[in-house]
Amino acid sequence: MAELIKGETGDWEIVIGMEVHAQVVANSKLFSGASTEFGAAPNSQVSLVDAAMPGMLPVLNEYCVEQAVRTGLGLNAEIMHHSVFERKNYFYPDLPQGYQISQYQHPIVGKGVIEIDLPDGTIKEIGITRLHLEQDAGKSLHDQHPRKSFVDLNRSGCALMEIVSEPDIRGPEEATAYLSKLRMILRYLGTCNGNMEEGSMRADVNVSVRRPGEPLGTRCEIKNVNSVKAVQMAIDYEARRQVEIIEDGGKIDQETRLWDPAKGVTRSMRSKEEAHDYRYFPDPDLLPLDIKSEWIEEIRETLPELPDEKKKRFMADYGLSLYDATVLIAERARADFFETVATGRDAKLAANWVINELLGILNKDGKTLAESPVSAAQLGGLLDLILDDTISGKIAKDVFAEMYASGKDAADIVEEKGLKQVTDTGAIEKIVDEVIAENPDNVAAYKGGKDKLFGFFVGQVMKKTQGKANPAAVNALLKTKLG
Amino acid sequence: MSELNHLTLTEALEGLEKKDFTSVELTQAHIDACEAAKSLNAFVTTTYELAIEQAGASDKRRAEGKAGPLDGLPLAIKDLFCTKGVQTTASSRILEGFVPQYESTVTSNLFRDGAIMLGKTGMDEFAMGSSNTTSGYGNILSPWRSRSAPEKDLVPGGSSGGSAAIVAARAALGSTGTDTGGSIRQPAAFCGIAGIKPTYGRCSRWGVVAFASSLDQAGVFARTTRDCARLLKSAAGYDPKDSTSANLPVPDFESALKGDVRGLRIGIPKEYRVDGMPKEIENIWQQGIEWMKDAGAEIVDVSLPHTKYALPAYYIIAPAEASSNLARYDGVRYGKRIEGGNLKDLYELTRAAGFGDEVKRRIMIGTYVLSAGYYDAYYVKAQKVRNLIRQDFLNAYGQCDALLTPTAPSAAFAIGENEDDPIKMYLNDVFTVSVNLAGLPGMSVPAGLNADGLPLGLQVIGKHWDEETVFRVGDVIEQAANFKALPQSVLKKAA
């Protein structure tokens, strides 16, 4: 159910379309051989083409095209067999050519659709309008000198995919769900690392408001929204701003606005009248991009299992709950980790251990799965000890804590510390007898109907065996002996 | 020895092979001729020291039996080709002092084959012009003078005027040019030499300062078709750094010079008989047709019905591309920079000071035709016209193997003429621009002198990738015309 804004005069619906710029994972730039590594010294990854030296010409990087096609397939979108690179002309010092090579009338990817998961467990489809390839600009640094601006061209010419959604998103929750899902898909595909803080994924958000059921209102485009949280905050602010204006009898001007994360407001950047005339025209230095069906099919063959399919499979094959499956597929590495642990073992037990124990403590320590001291094979080893009754679930938690601290294998810890479960009924029977002998009052009370005291006897036996007694054997013996 | 600069490129190569003289001697003779022709202002930058050094190295290679196909031959390079370590200006003040750290593919190819560079020749600024009166480094003069008004300085044609003038002045054996709307063929005609613009995609554009990317094509000048064939063979070739370069083998153009056009069908496009065409142009064209007939070719009348739209379409497409290509000259990274109080001032002051009037005019036209609301009416329509023009040629080639036309609507005019109205100047390209719009190969060969003693050229237009037929026809015209006239400045010196 869409979130509505309660205004003075009634409810308002927020309508959102997103333009996400995703930097393509590739070793070199879209039209030059320069490296794309993040964080290199300023202007150290700039080819003659990136610096727009006279007479330099762009040559299309085939791998970037492959990545765009792969992304299009992952977005269930139509791959266009014919697309055209055009020049978007404007002057800025971090745009050395004086134009950005982009795709305009003929993008490489057409209409597609992705499913987003809403907090109430429902699924909603969000339409993808298009995906096109374009060059990134360089970076202007305005804070290095009192009067001058500096330009770093390392990013100039890096490949971006601009992914445009339909105005299908209603409210900040759906917007963040969309962004998260899109990022998840891109990461699964390996086509964008999705790091918003490094700028490798950036979002422009188009926001308008309307009365439910009425035609679309006038939209404002919000730029500089650089985290999932910022998306939520910017939409919240902007929608309320628009509602206030309309309710006060005003009109929304179509304009580009900037999100100011420090003040938590959007402010006007340029009006429709001030909008650039980009004078797009086909780049005569590049031929139209024609892609053969066979190549698209070859790329399709290399697609990994995507999050939605994986979630369905986890639920069907492993019997996991929607919640567990959703947590486990959030990252491809996490899902792979789970599957390694679950293979040949009790999958629900594996899911419990991965989610509640491992992810729990990693999250607490601020670590990623890649930094986990316990490998999937090691966690599987621990589960094996539980499943073959070598240790109890309770002991296993202690063993796990030790594994996490030391990186040792579970079997070694159990061996070293003598934590092996006592399954010898003779030995357990002896201790049961001791406990019964030492607590005549409680025995009498139990026999008198105080059933709850059963737990007390189990506890006493466990205490005497340092928790190593097999719980099932203890239960059975106590039941017999206490009648 | 003083006559070394009167040899053709082919003769000079024979002389080097026979050890009649060294490349150092040959090069020195041309340096002397360049100095003698200094008043033409053909060069933006001369590289004499480099030339002598290259010549010495060439002589060494030849002694070791490692000489390349152009080894030891002094050439002039249009200043639109980026040359590593040598200032490259495109005859614009905005690039004054710009020294590329890279070598264009075409010049790399020529140097690979042993060519020697005398210097960088001037042109109309950014190759925009037909007269060489728009250079940021002063007018370039033709070595020719008319009989009726010998006191008047004449234009060498443009844009590759410096390259044409210096070859006509016997101060370089050959030169490179670029041709966007006639910039090789028209100056070749005005200067009485041969010049070929090959098929679009035959020569790499990598390292050539861009004017209009979809039309620009590098080519060569020399005094004979054979010399041109040799130069083009070296200059051309596939280059993966240019996406519009064709991955096709380069034929041995010279072997196409059979001295014979029997069996060839030569098309005469009726639309090229434009209103008000001077009698002398019509006569030389008719003369060319007679030569072809005499040599056994079949003359076919053909129609290129959209010809009259070529010039307007060209003057939309070329400025549109130029307005974008020249955006990079902003004073931020290289070339001229005039500091201003803010970014907008920096751009405006730099570009106002760096670009000349013609460049500014074309940037404005180009910006206009690409603007919202005008794009469809101008740019899109011009592209449609371009397709029709291309189709005209393809249709005509159903009936003929090559076309014969005049190169330009007049002989060279005096400096200052045609300056009052840019359209008048643009009309100089009336016979040449269609060839660029269609991406075809075209060549101008000297065919005779007009009554005033000035050279006139004939243009041969071929099918895509069929420079061989162009050379074959050009060679027969050359033989029939037997053009031996020398520019007055060269004659005076010889006397």
Query: What integer is the mean pLDDT of A248-270?
Result: 93
- Complex ipTM: 0.96
Mean pLDDT of chain A: 93
Q: Which of B317, B328, B437 to mutate to test the interface with A (most CBs of A within 10 A)?
A: B328
pLDDT category of residue A37 using cuts at 50, 70 and 90: confident
* A18 DSSP β-pair partners: A205
Look at residue A274 and tell me whether its pLDDT is greater than 80. Answer: no
Cβ contact, residue pair A285, B243, below 8 Å: yes
- Is residue B183 annotated as part of the catalytic site, yes or no? yes
pLDDT category of residue A247 using cuts at 50, 70 and 90: very high
Cβ-nearest to B324 among A51, A96, A99: A99
Cβ-nearest to B213 among A91, A97, A285: A285
* Residue type at position A68: A
- Is residue B159 annotated as part of the catalytic site, yes or no? yes
Q: How buried is A385 (Cβ within 10 angstroms: 0-12 exposed, 13-18 middle, 19+ buried)?
A: buried
Alpha helices in B300-427 (DSSP H): 310-325, 343-354, 357-369, 381-396, 422-426
Count of CB atoms situated within 10 Å of the CB of A277:
14
Tens of pLDDT along chain B (495 residues) come to 448 999 999 999 999 999 999 999 999 999 999 999 999 999 999 999 999 999 999 999 999 999 999 999 999 999 999 999 999 999 999 999 999 999 999 999 999 999 999 999 999 999 999 999 999 999 999 999 999 999 999 999 999 999 999 999 999 999 999 999 999 999 999 999 999 999 999 999 999 999 999 999 999 999 999 999 999 999 999 999 999 999 999 999 999 999 999 999 999 999 999 888 899 999 999 999 999 999 999 999 999 999 999 999 999 999 999 999 999 999 999 999 999 989 999 999 999 999 999 999 999 999 999 999 999 999 999 999 999 999 999 999 999 999 999 999 999 999 988 888 778 788 889 999 999 999 999 999 999 999 999 999 999 999 999 999 999 999 999 999 999 999 988 876 655
In percent, the amount of chain A with pLDDT more than 70 equals: 100
Please state the three-class secondary structure of A194-238 as a single string: CCCCCCCEEEEEEEEEECCCCCCCCCEEEEEECCHHHHHHHHHHH
Q: Which pLDDT does position B435 carry in this prediction?
A: 98
Q: Which of A279, A286, A289 to mutate to test the interface with B (most CBs of B within 10 A)?
A: A279
Alpha-carbon distance of A292 to B144, in angstroms, equals: 56
Candidates B382, B232, B224; CA nearest to B311 is B382
Candidates A296, A295, A233; CA nearest to A266 is A233
Contact in structure between B128 and B359 (CB atoms under 8 Å): yes
A73 vs A12, A80, A128, A132, A305, CA distance in Å? 35, 11, 12, 13, 12
Alpha-carbon distance of B306 to B302, in angstroms, equals: 12
* A16 DSSP β-pair partners: A169, A207
pTM summary value: 0.91
Q: Which pLDDT does position A217 carry in this prediction?
A: 95
Intra-chain end-to-end CA distance of chain B, in Å: 15
B365 vs B71, B76, B312, B320, B369, CA distance in Å? 44, 32, 12, 7, 6
B383 by DSSP, 3-state: which? helix
Query: What integer is the mean pLDDT of A142-161?
Result: 93
Q: Where are the beta strands (DSSP E) in B23-89?
A: 43-46, 74-78
pLDDT tens for A50-81 read 999 999 999 999 999 999 999 999 999 999 99
Sign of CA dihedral B277, B281, B287, B293: negative
Supply the angle between the helices B9-17 and B23-36 in degrees, to the nearest 10: 150
Taken in order of first residue, the domains within chain B and their CATH numbers are: 4-261+470-494 (3.90.1300.10)
Look at residue A16 and tell me whether its pLDDT is greater than 70. Answer: yes
* CA nearest to B346 within chain A: A93
B93/chain A closest Cα distance in angstroms: 14
Q: Which pLDDT does position A1 carry in this prediction?
A: 47
**What is the b/e burial string over B308-337, where b = at least 16 CB atoms within 10 angstroms of the residue's CB?**
ebbbebbbbbbbbbbbbbbbbbbbbebbbb
> Is the link from the previous residue into B131 a cis peptide, with omega within 30 of 0?
no
Cβ-nearest to B330 among A56, A87, A98: A98
Instruction: Provide residues of A within 8 Å CB-CB of chain B.
Output: 48, 51-60, 87, 89, 91, 93, 96-99, 149, 151, 277, 279-281, 284-287
A161 by DSSP, 3-state: which? strand
B481/chain A closest Cα distance in angstroms: 38
Count of CB atoms situated within 10 Å of the CB of A424:
12
**DSSP assignment letter at B97:** T
Contact in structure between A177 and A143 (CB atoms under 8 Å): no
Q: What backbone phi and psi angles, to 5 degrees, belong to B192?
A: 70, 35
Q: Using a CB-CB distance cutoff of 8 angstroms, which residues of chain A are in contact with residue B333?
A: 51-52, 96
Please tell me which residue, A41 or A472, carries the higher pLDDT value: A41
Opening angle at CA A265, ends A263 and A267, nearest 5: 115
| B213 vs A: CB within 8 A | yes
**DSSP assignment letter at B223:** S
Count of CB atoms situated within 10 Å of the CB of A425:
15
Contact in structure between B134 and B211 (CB atoms under 8 Å): no
Alpha-carbon distance of A445 to A435, in angstroms, equals: 15
Q: What backbone phi and psi angles, to 5 degrees, belong to B36?
A: -65, -30
Up-side HSE of residue B16: CA atoms within 13 Å toward CB?
33
pLDDT category of residue A272 using cuts at 50, 70 and 90: confident
Alpha-carbon distance of B407 to B413, in angstroms, equals: 14
- Is residue B78 annotated as part of the catalytic site, yes or no? yes
Structure tokens at A322: 């929607």
Could you give the maximum distance between any two Cα atoms of chain A, in Å? Answer: 100
User: Strands A85-89 and A99-103, how do they pair?
Assistant: antiparallel
Residues 301-340 of B with CB under 8 A from A: 320-321, 323-324, 326-328, 330, 332-334
